[in-house]
Amino acid sequence: MSVTSSFSPVPRVTPSPTSWHSLPAYTSVPEALAAHVNDDHLYVLYPEKIAQAAQTFLTGFPGSVLYAVKANPHPVVLKTLWEEGVRHFDVASMREVELVHTTLPQAKMFLMHPVKSRALIAHAYAIGVRDFAFDCLDELKKIVAVTNGAKDLHLHLRLALNEGDAVMPLTGKFGASHEAVFNLLPLARDLGQKLGLCFHVGSQCLEANNYATAIHYARQLVDEAGVKIDSIDVGGGFPVAYPDMPVPPMQTFFEVIADSIKENNFDTVEIFGEPGRALCAEGGSTLARIELRKDKDLYLNDGVYGSLFDAGQCAWKFPVELHRDRPPSPAANSVPFRFFGPTCDSIDVMTGPFHLPEDAGEGDWVEVKHLGAYGQGLAGRFNGFHSETTVAITTPERQER
Ligand SMILES: Cc1ncc(COP(=O)(O)O)c(C=O)c1O
């Protein structure tokens, strides 16, 4: 079901924002729109929702909560989580390390990406990071070599898992096979001060038992290899409710994980979880303006090359709300629409369907919700991997010009 709200754009008196952590702050979307009507789409953060999600995890998850920075690296999101009590951060790139280090100097960082550059490992170690993931011998050797055989490492061996019930499976790219684990576990035990197992059941995991299966698998591996471990990191994957995608309560996931840890005699090891989506998806949205309507197709000023990548590439259905400067239509009249993004590319399409009032049209704004995770953060610089360097390769004659 869609909802509408109305706002008053310029030239009426523009609301002057107060601020929240240096962001312009308003009490409603219509108020924000009235102050920011221009050619760009807008990103919205809802700090109360981020704070609430943080409390859900901090009070319910049976272990330490690492925020997966990739989900939304906005410094204000990091600060909000810190204010709520999140102290551990999962980072993947040089830029994420720098971001967390400068924004939250007291934070404990974990480099849980199984593939890292030597420069990243060296820099992270130099500023105090001791937790590193790996899933093969070469990465393990790399970590040890770059840190000069440091004796204070906490090494996390990432396990390959079967696909499971996640909407966005993360199998196939990372993770040590059953066989590889036997070689790696004893080696890493000797090299690190602490040794852990980690895995990811896939993002937006709809079935809590997938965590139990993975924890049980970890117990089998530890027993078969005869190696003692110090930690288990159950990764991310905790789901958020999207249209047509109901999810069990988060408490169910926490209980299943806690029970499974007990049943598999892991009570004495340290437990970590790395939620990304579940901590910030509902805490953010994108406001995109309708530039043109053709029948049931709406042409927006943001799309798959911006924050709506998952809506296009993964045909993900996000909740939507229409904001407009005219009387709202009755919500009952909502009809399905397809979205197009602003670029010339024909893959810049989001099939949805997205349900909006049937008279939605040019100048109205669509709030695409739950984009606090993998929306704002995906727009161009996902995971902190991008380049600001362009070089020219040309003849010496041209170089002198
Ligand atoms: C290593 C790692 N940890 C945590 C996450 C966060 O996962 P989610 O947003 O599904 O909770 C991801 C997501 O890709 C990941 O790769």
Lowest mean pLDDT among 130-144, 173-187, 214-228, 370-384: 370-384
More confident residue, 379 or 339: 339
- 154-158 and 194-198 strand pairing: parallel
Q: In terms of Cα–Cα distance, which of 40, 67, 69 is closest to 53?
A: 67
Q: What is the pLDDT of residues 272-309, one digit of tens each?
A: 999 999 999 999 999 999 999 999 999 999 999 999 99
Report whether pLDDT(7) > 70: no
Please identify, by atom number, the ligand 1 atom nearest to the C-alpha of residue 279. 11
Ligand 1 neighbours (beta carbon < 6 A): 68, 71, 90, 112, 170, 200, 203, 235-238, 274-278, 373
Note the CATH number of domain 47-280: 3.20.20.10
Axis crossing angle, helix 250-263 with helix 209-225, rounded to the nearest 10: 20
Phi, psi of 282 (to 5 degrees): -75, -10
- What mean pLDDT comes out for the span 85-104? 97
Mutate to test the pocket of ligand 1, among 159, 161, 170 (most ligand atoms within 8 A of CB): 170
Residue whose CB lies within 8 A of the most ligand 1 atoms, among 56, 69, 70, 157, for a mutation test: 70
Tell me, in angstroms, the distance from the centre of ligand 1 to residue 70's CA: 8
> Binning pLDDT at 50, 70 and 90, where does residue 2 land?
very low
Q: Which of 216, 164, 236, 221 is nearest to 189 (CA)?
A: 221
- Cβ count near 85 (within 10 Å): 13
Ligand 1 geometric centre to CA of 227 (Å) = 27
Residue nearest to atom 4 of ligand 1 (CA): 236
Q: What is the mean pLDDT of residues 123-135?
A: 98
What residues does each domain of the chain span?
4-46+281-384, 47-280
pLDDT one-digit tens code per residue, 17-39: 677 788 899 999 999 998 887 77
Cβ count within 10 A of residue 179: 8
User: How far apart are alpha carbons 353 and 343 in whole angstroms?
Assistant: 20
Give the list of residues 6+ apart from residue 7 with CB closer than 8 angstroms, or none. 29, 30, 31, 33, 34, 323, 324, 325, 365
Percentage with pLDDT > 70 across the chain: 94
Q: How far is the CA of 210 from the centre of ligand 1 (A)?
A: 15
Q: How confident is the model at residue 1 (pLDDT cuts 50, 70, 90)?
A: very low
Which residue's CA lies nearest to atom 7 of ligand 1?
236
Arithmetic mean of pLDDT over the chain:
92
pLDDT for res 330: 59
Mean pLDDT along residues 322-331 = 76
Our CA angle for 58, 62, 65, nearest 5°, is 45
- Of the listed ranges 91-105, 181-195, 283-297, 369-383, the one predicted with least confidence: 369-383
The rounded Å distance from CA 285 to ligand 1 centre is: 19
Query: Once rounded to an integer, what is the mean pLDDT over residues 1-29?
Result: 66
**Second-level CATH architecture of 4-46+281-384:** Beta Barrel (2.40)
> What is the helix (H) or strand (E) element at residue 38, kind and residue range?
none
CB count in 10 Å sphere of residue 130: 19
CA dist., res. 350 & res. 46, Å (int)? 24
**Contacts for 85 with CB less than 8 Å, ≥ 6 apart:** 54, 58
